[in-house]
Structure 1
């Protein structure tokens, strides 16, 4: 069961109250530009961090403020008078922040304990992100990787060692197979299963069921193989795939280096502008990709994309512009979401200009058939994606050409 059940807060710049009932579901924050999506998700992250430390709870902050005020009351004769004055002002700011947001957890004590034990991931990914997977000649052993990385806080980024970890696992697997070590067969099976999982995830992400993740023995590195493409490494990904791998590799390494199966990892992951750098086809599947790969993580994301909003049926959607909670827009067309939720017309400026020109041409005499045919040729390949108004204009242009041809016979 995912942790966050309810969120109540006041937006820092507008003072507007926000109230969201999550009941453990994932959360998609949307709304127009400038409505405060980034401020919201950062404020939420800061408060979850505060909740993870009992010393920073609202109750404890109030107690610390009382102690500071008691010291100040002793007057300037107290050698720490200035220190406690400044400390009191700092605590008042912290208390104001703590009061401006309330997050209800399913089990707050369990959350604090699991976070302290590094069994609960809490990550915040800003809008600007690119994969930092290191592909070089250094090949540390699996043991040295685990020793070095497992001591890091869960808030740090682990993805840089993703490719090194793949190689270390493959080296162990090949050694077990080569030596026919039956005692280590269970370890070999686990490694093979894990490598298959990574390959399966990449196939889903790249929309390619034939994709293969292959080990290059000469280079001692992994390559992605696709039909009719040259093999490529993780540091050669496009900006869209790189942005996704930045998050995926980080989360996967956090579970692997802690010896936690990916489907058992608990946590809260906040992603600002989850659609950043992504082609439409990736926007449609990015959130489901993460929720399938890490089913016990609660994802909280912001987006401008109707395709992200439309892509899942198990998330709460909150429109920050209208301060309105919605649930399951997966059955709505992206045009409806664009216009109704995001306040944006689905017709592009270029298409609108061409349709307006077409409407003008059909009313002219004589008919400029050459230009009208050019416009029809430009627009017709996209007919299936046009809204009703745009399709009507296209039909009007086609009919004008037909009528003109009939008149010439």
Structure 2
């Protein structure tokens, strides 16, 4: 599954928008309210056609409140249209203001594609790769889905479990905790009984957690990882990776839990959908569409610098739609190319209800320069910037008079009260101020 082209008509804040996407990481940068999440929601609506009418509980339709407002009222309709080479066709969904109903008659191409995948689930020995489809909203860490009995993990549902609540904004951490705890106990019980058995889904999840901790914490490759339920803590799930970190998962920081649950969820879903594959084969073979709103959520800048590269490594053939406010992520976003030097990953800048694809790379650039461009944010407090600007104007003016130089020294004193002596700007200011003093 992949979205190659997206077209929006009167969807949320977009009157008309057309976008071409790359097959890897599509990274969106823009200020609050610029429409980043709207694009992710539109992608979710487009990809939801995969589930067709038979899997209606997995659908994501256009909501009435997503019709654009113009002149104080909603326009007559809103449309999300998509094209995919993998699906081999175009499809669209439209909601009409008067009926509040979604028109689904133009979804045939994607419904047929999804129908073929779901039919493969009916035969145990059918090993057609099922695509990963999932949305991670900004609510993913703190808001768990209220899952009914019909929507809980069900071993009898087989591969379908990989699509459980996949396009909802709420997380399924409760499902994951319950499944992981039971899977670990089941494996331990079989080991005691000397029953030879392999749970590839569990092994893949554990291996992904291991890779995640190595990548983000720089742990040695042979570190000891233990995942278990602790009876003395109401069977809470524990993750132990060294002597100092043997805690319930709920006790770790928000940033740690955010990235761990993200990885567990993706690999668990991908493995449920394709349970015969080990993690290496899964990474190499699975495709799909994953949307992540604010991937930097709760992450320390050191982890922000590593998150995109880990996703590229873990699921290199999955198409990601990701938003961020972090210049650290932009500075560490290495855009891959295919054998024909076409971009696999790319950056988009959003402003004034428009989206611009950035042709140049910001990989490795100074974060302060990225704050200025493309993020259009000040790298320092306005007062400091104004003082530095005034200082540079005096220092660079060959016609400056004694009174100007007195002001320059006054500015230097103000800046020294604000900035530490190790700041690059204050070092330069003090060098110039010293030359001025010596010349007087």
TM-score (norm 2): 0.63
From the CA coordinates, give the structure whose radius of gyration is larger: 1
1:119-142 Cα deviation digits (max 9, x unpaired): 3332222222216799xxxxxxxx
CA apart distance, 1:34: 2.1
Unaligned runs of 5+ in 1: 57-92, 135-143, 384-390
**C-alpha contact 1:158 1:254 (8 A) present in aligned 2:** no
Higher helix proportion (structure 1 or 2): 1
CA apart distance, 1:234: 1.4
Structure 1 pair 368–10 and aligned structure 2 pair: CA distance change class (3 A): closer
**C-alpha contact 1:133 1:162 (8 A) present in aligned 2:** no
CA distance in 1, matches of 2:256, 2:118: 29
1:292-349 Cα deviation digits (max 9, x unpaired): 2233321111222223233231312222225321244325443333222222222344
Aligned twin of 2:19: 20
**C-alpha contact 2:349 2:356 (8 A) present in aligned 1:** yes
Q: Find 1:113's aligned residue among 111, 116, 119.
A: 116
Aligned twin of 2:350: 320
Q: Find 1:268's aligned residue among 268, 289, 307.
A: 289
Unaligned runs of 5+ in 2: 56-73, 88-109, 122-129, 146-152, 337-344, 395-403
**C-alpha contact 2:22 2:346 (8 A) present in aligned 1:** no
CA distance in 1, matches of 2:120, 2:405: 71
CA apart distance, 1:50: 3.1
Secondary structure (helix, strand or coil) at the match of 2:247 reads coil
Structure 1 pair 253–131 and aligned structure 2 pair: CA distance change class (3 A): farther
**C-alpha contact 1:130 1:242 (8 A) present in aligned 2:** yes
Secondary structure (helix, strand or coil) at the match of 2:84 reads strand
Q: Find 1:245's aligned residue among 260, 278, 297.
A: 260
Structure 1 pair 199–318 and aligned structure 2 pair: CA distance change class (3 A): same
Higher strand proportion (structure 1 or 2): 2
Aligned twin of 1:397: 430
Q: Find 1:345's aligned residue among 369, 373, 378.
A: 378
CA distance in 2, matches of 1:53, 1:364: 71
What are the within-5 Å matches in structure 2 for residues 257-406 of structure 1? 257-260=272-275, 261=277, 262-263=282-283, 264-310=285-331, 311-314=333-336, 315-321=345-351, 322-327=354-359, 328-349=361-382, 352=385, 363=406, 375=418, 378=420, 380=422, 383=424, 391=425, 393-398=426-431, 400=433
Is structure 2 residue 225 aligned with structure 1 residue 213?
yes
Q: RMSD over aligned Cα, in angstroms?
A: 4.3
TM-score (norm 1): 0.67
Secondary structure (helix, strand or coil) at the match of 2:134 reads strand
Aligned twin of 1:195: 206
CA distance in 2, matches of 1:282, 1:149: 35
Q: Find 1:103's aligned residue among 83, 88, 96.
A: 83
CA distance in 2, matches of 1:151, 1:111: 12
Aligned twin of 1:162: 176
**C-alpha contact 1:158 1:249 (8 A) present in aligned 2:** no
**C-alpha contact 1:121 1:266 (8 A) present in aligned 2:** yes
